[in-house]
Amino acid sequence: MGLVHIYCGDGKGKTSAAIGLAVRAAGSGRRVVIARFLKTDNSGEVEILKRLPEVTLIPCRKNFGFVRSMDEETKKECADYNRNLFLEAAELAKTADLVVFDEIMAAVNYGMVLEKDILDFLENRPKKSEPDGLEIVLTGRNPSESLLGAADYVSEICKRKHPFDKGIMARRGVEY
């Protein structure tokens, strides 16, 4: 059985680490599935990942904006969308070697995906005949103790300094 990775913390680089692992896996001929939660496709890595035949990037089919700006009806619709996204990725995992659930922690923390569903998936994930099994990556801030306990790797990326603190906004090709 493969291992579970968590990239968490308040620093920049959680998604970058996950994408780096995905590219490494794809470069080794492994099949990769990437599901991006609470994000749009307006990010530099999306375009290059679409070009890799080993990578299945589940597209963002609907943009809901920031959770803090949503009314209750939009939050419910967003939650339904993200739960279905999780189920789609879990189904695709049956034929993958690596699955990345990018920003799944935010989806859980905002109530968009049930932590129980993730833990059930991790416990009952598809078994692979390959020697390494199915690798799974979860990214985002503030993972619960239960998710941390289910992981084999936990890498916490700590912010010491960030340009945003000086008022420098996210830059295309660097932060997104």
**pLDDT tens-digit readout, 47-76:** 999 999 999 999 999 999 999 999 999 999
Q: Which domain holds residue 47?
A: 4-134+142-165
How confident is the model over 27-35, as a mean pLDDT? Answer: 97
- Confidence class for position 163, pLDDT limits 50, 70, 90: confident
The count of domains in the chain is: 1
**pLDDT tens-digit readout, 101-143:** 999 999 999 999 999 999 999 999 988 766 678 999 999 999 9
Q: What's the CATH number where 44 sits?
A: 3.40.50.300
- Exposed e or buried b for every residue in 142-164, given b needs 16+ CB within 10 A? ebeeebeebbeebeebeeeeeee
The β-bridge partners of 102 are: 36
Confidence at residue 130, expressed as pLDDT on a 0 to 100 scale = 64
User: Is residue 175 a part of any domain in this protein?
Assistant: no
User: Is residue 174 a part of any domain in this protein?
Assistant: no
Q: Tell which residue, 37, 5, 44, has the closest CA to residue 21.
A: 5
Predicted TM-score (pTM) of the model is: 0.92
- Confidence class for position 159, pLDDT limits 50, 70, 90: very high
User: Is residue 171 a part of any domain in this protein?
Assistant: no
How confident is the model over 34-56, as a mean pLDDT? Answer: 95
User: Is residue 173 a part of any domain in this protein?
Assistant: no
